[in-house]
Structure 1
Amino acid sequence: MDEKNYKQVKTKRGLNYSYYFSAPSSSDKPTLFFSHGFPSASFLWRKQVPFFEQLGYGIIVPDHLGYGGTDKPTDTKFYGGRGLAEDQVDILDAENVKQVIAIAHDWGSYAVSCILHYFPQRVSAVAFLAVGYRPADGAVNPITQPEFFRNTLGVDLLAYQRFFVEPDAAAIIEKNIDSFINLLYPETPEVWKSHLSVDGATRAWIASNRITPLPSYVSEEDKDRLRKSLLSGGLGGPLCWYKQQIDESNLAEADKLPASARDIHHPVLYIAFTKDFVALPIVMDKTHEKYIKGPLTRKEVAGDHWALMSHPKEVNEISKEWLEGL
């Protein structure tokens, strides 16, 4: 991803966004909108962008709020709902792109879901990687209602999120950033079972500054880039993506969304990563069964949460085949 292709725009909310842009090779080629999650920035897509650029697609890859060259407010009201969707639409407008095919991962799936809720006409189709569609629902809160996963799956699936919303989480992570990176990018995927989905285990791992080897798909250069990116702006902004789930104003806005706006009629690709022990495919499948009313294509890749890094050829080829069939 050539640094010369990065641009800046100030959104209507007064926020400065950095984004990668390259134009399509011809007027009949659509533009792909790549949406990253926690704790990455736009460089997460470095193994996808060149592949699709060579095929002639237009490319837009924002640094989402809190990351990279984009503003990093620590007020959670900026990280949810219509406002978040408007920011992304402002980027499209800056490039005079009327409609995109969105490809999303992790919290990037939430960001794209917000566009689908409020500006569905700006998306022609959407691919969800690992984390599926996130319907706006203020009544369902994975942080304050852990019994849902305990009762249905027998595991405190998102226990780590209760640490991420605690007041001292950012400081602990910044102090022990290498330990944090080793946990978020584990040498073996099963680590997430015992240290993300057990109450108190995430805090204990990071606070003790536990260091483990990197997985094969993360180089020391990758780790250094991620470390510098996170420490340059701090974790206060990125953790707001979790905190917005318990922000009363965001919850109230979600409750006002008409039920019909939660249904998705777009063509959808869902790529399940079968060794992801937090973004469980079974959970995504149940959500998709309820809300996706358009054509759904479901594929699997035998990788962990970061299979778009560890298995880029498979992910890219599956996405390419789906795109060509639209």
Structure 2
Amino acid sequence: MDPSLYKHVKTQRGFTYAYYFSAPTTGKPVLFFAHGFPCSSTLWRAQVAFFAPRGYGIVVPDLLGYGGTDKPVDPKLYVGGGLAQDVVDILDEEGIARVIAIGHDWGSYLVSRMINHHPSRVAACGFVTVGYSAPSAVYREVLTQPPGLMTQRVGYENFAYMRFFAQPNAAEIIEKNLDSFLCLFYPESSAIWRDNMCVEGGARAWVENNRMNPLALYMTTELVEHERTALLRGGIAAPLCWFKVNLEDAKAADDSTVPPEAHFVTQPLLFVACTRDAACLPIFGDTNHRKYAQGEVTRQELDGDHWVLESHPTEISRILDEWIIGLDV
């Protein structure tokens, strides 16, 4: 992604955001892409390369805690309503009325809160691996209740790693053994997640013991160095706040500001389910969409794990392109 096309804006909350921006040609919509943990805006580089030459407007921020954006370490600042307002401030800076908003991982959470708090700014919504999520206390339950909650629901502790990420010394442990963390997060075999990330204490034990494993083929030397440099330069304490905020009363208070009728999604919705994602199982998105989606739902499925944006970039761009062309927005 062209560094010269990154801009900066200070939001109403006082945070400076870095974001990639490419203006649309006449008649073309603006696409907004939101990344998750532990990435940055460059996660969407293949989609930017695909859609920008076709005249689409593109907005891809480094979200709060990442890249060139501010990195506060107070989890209370990562509530959904605040994050959504930050995005609206970026759109206002560029004079953009509505976007087609597309998210991955925690970026899907952010797109969900944009729908809840600023529905008029979202023309359509796309979710990759992680579907729409209405305001709820599910992650707080995962982080505070004894292991067993998710085992009852899906057969194993698919979110066990979150309990490690929410611990006070998680950032210190990860930064000390960052290469081990990257081996765990971007493994050659998706079974590594099922056998370690999704086992109580498994993620912490892996990183603390500095275990190594072959990286996925898409993790080129250049990409590994980019990830290492970005995470060490900014530290990982801020990105971990996206997990830790779920322990804060401020999160529940923020969720309570969304009226029940605003939990529903009236916009066209795309869900790209990934059959080998051991943590973010397709059933979660499918269940939420049956409950909350009131507009047209398009579901596509890929034989990939959590990192399909890296492993299947061409397929993701094709799916998005076909869906966007068919939208009446």
TM-score norm. by structure 2 comes to: 0.97
Contact (CA 8 Å) 2:79, 2:250: kept in 1 or not? no
Inter-partner Cα distance in structure 1 for 2:259 and 2:38: 31
Runs of 4+ in 1 over 4 A off after TM superposition: none
Contact (CA 8 Å) 2:190, 2:277: kept in 1 or not? yes
Q: Cα distance 1:178–1:126, how it changes in 2: closer, same or farther (>3 A)? A: same
How do residues 38-187 of structure 1 correspond to structure 2 at under 5 angstroms? 38-138=37-137, 141=140, 142-145=142-145, 146-187=147-188
Question: Structure 1 stretches of 5 or more lacking a match?
Answer: none
Partner of 2:20: 20
Deviations 1:196-216 (A, max 9, x none): 111100000001111111111
Deviations 1:77-126 (A, max 9, x none): 11112211110000000100010001110000011111111101000001
Partner of 2:234: 233
Question: Structure 2 stretches of 5 or more lacking a match?
Answer: none
Give the superposed CA RMSD: 1.1
Inter-partner Cα distance in structure 1 for 2:277 and 2:134: 21
Contact (CA 8 Å) 1:128, 1:271: kept in 2 or not? yes
Q: Secondary structure of 2:238's partner?
A: coil
> In the TM superposition, what is the alpha-carbon distance from 1:139 to its structure 2 partner?
6.3
252-261 or 30-39, which deviates more: 252-261
* Alignment of 1:257 onto 2:258: yes
Contact (CA 8 Å) 1:138, 1:255: kept in 2 or not? no
Q: Residue type of the partner of 1:124?
A: A
Q: Residue type of the partner of 2:132?
A: Y
Inter-partner Cα distance in structure 2 for 1:96 and 1:144: 42
Deviations 1:213-253 (A, max 9, x none): 11111101101001100111101100000001111111122
Contact (CA 8 Å) 1:270, 1:298: kept in 2 or not? yes
Identity of aligned residues (%): 50
Q: Residue type of the partner of 2:279?
A: V
How do residues 201-280 of structure 1 correspond to structure 2 at under 5 angstroms? 201-280=202-281
Higher helix share: 2
Contact (CA 8 Å) 1:138, 1:252: kept in 2 or not? no
Would you say how many aligned residue pairs link Structure 1 and Structure 2?
Answer: 325
Inter-partner Cα distance in structure 2 for 1:140 and 1:9: 31
Inter-partner Cα distance in structure 1 for 2:212 and 2:46: 26
Inter-partner Cα distance in structure 1 for 2:129 and 2:248: 25
Inter-partner Cα distance in structure 2 for 1:102 and 1:253: 21
